Amino acid sequence: RATVAAIDASGTMQGLGMMVIEVEVRNFKEWYKLYESELDSNSFEQLGVTATFVGEQVRSLGFFSSASTAHIVHVYPSTKEDAVRAAYEAPRDAERKWLDGKIVTGPVRIQSSTLVHKEDTEDLMFVDRMITVTHALANRNPWLDEVAALHLPPSKLLVGVDEHGDDLKGLTVHLFAKSAEKDIKKALDFRHAIDAGLVHPPLESKQSRLLFKKL
């Protein structure tokens, strides 16, 4: 098949951006109820968002406690990046109850990128997990070829490159069925790319239970 770099050069993904947002929340169910109302209002579509995926990350804080993080991915025309970012960075006013300080316990983390490739080998109906992997890159196109060569179980794959700031970063997003979790994680360790000097560790990997998916 064609390499990702070749597909990228053809302009298939030209003009699209991808953003990953993490919101630390006190109570995920309460937060999601408010955020779901925002999704139902189509306000993100009005900003230009063409695809949205929302999941819940849970991490243990000890034997009796845990913390949740909302894990959000948006795809949109690159010209709309500032508008989409502003929805999460704007003052936490009454219109955005899902950003209220009583619910959100930490800073909203945002990473935007240029969407350079996507693959669909699994129907969204069957995916219930999402994982994002971010890392520094030594060279853009050889790494994209490495991604194209990954032997992945059925999944939805989105590949972005973040060229903001001084460091070049790769960002991959996978939507997959829980049964494929072990194989997905193994493929995404990028061991060969690290050995070849194309990827600079550490890899920042975040996995969540997928609750909302819309294309």
CB 193 within 8 A of CB 143: yes
What token pair was written down for 145? Answer: 């070829």
The confidence score (pLDDT) of residue 91 equals 62
Per-residue pLDDT of the chain in tens (215 residues, 90 and over written 9): 344 444 444 444 569 999 999 999 988 999 999 999 989 988 899 999 999 999 999 765 555 556 789 999 999 999 999 999 999 986 655 567 888 888 888 888 999 999 998 888 767 888 999 999 999 999 888 888 888 888 777 788 899 999 877 789 999 999 999 998 888 888 888 888 899 899 998 889 899 999 999 88
Distance from C-alpha of 139 to C-alpha of 26, rounded to nearest angstrom: 39
Look at residue 65 in the predicted model and tell me its pLDDT: 53
> With contact defined as beta carbons under 8 Å apart, do 46 and 134 qualify?
no
- How many whole angstroms separate alpha carbon 131 and alpha carbon 160? 14
Length of the chain (residues): 215
Distance of CA 125 to the CA centre of its chain: 18
Q: Which of 130, 186, 194 is nearest to 156 (CA)?
A: 130
At 9 the pLDDT is 45
Contact 159, 171 (CB under 8 A): yes
The answer to whether the CB of 168 falls within 8 A of the CB of 119 is no
User: Can you give the pTM of this predicted structure?
Assistant: 0.88
Instruction: Calculate the CA 16 to chain-centre distance.
Output: 14
Q: Is 102 helix (H, G, I), strand (E, B) or coil?
A: coil
First and final C-alpha spacing in the chain: 25
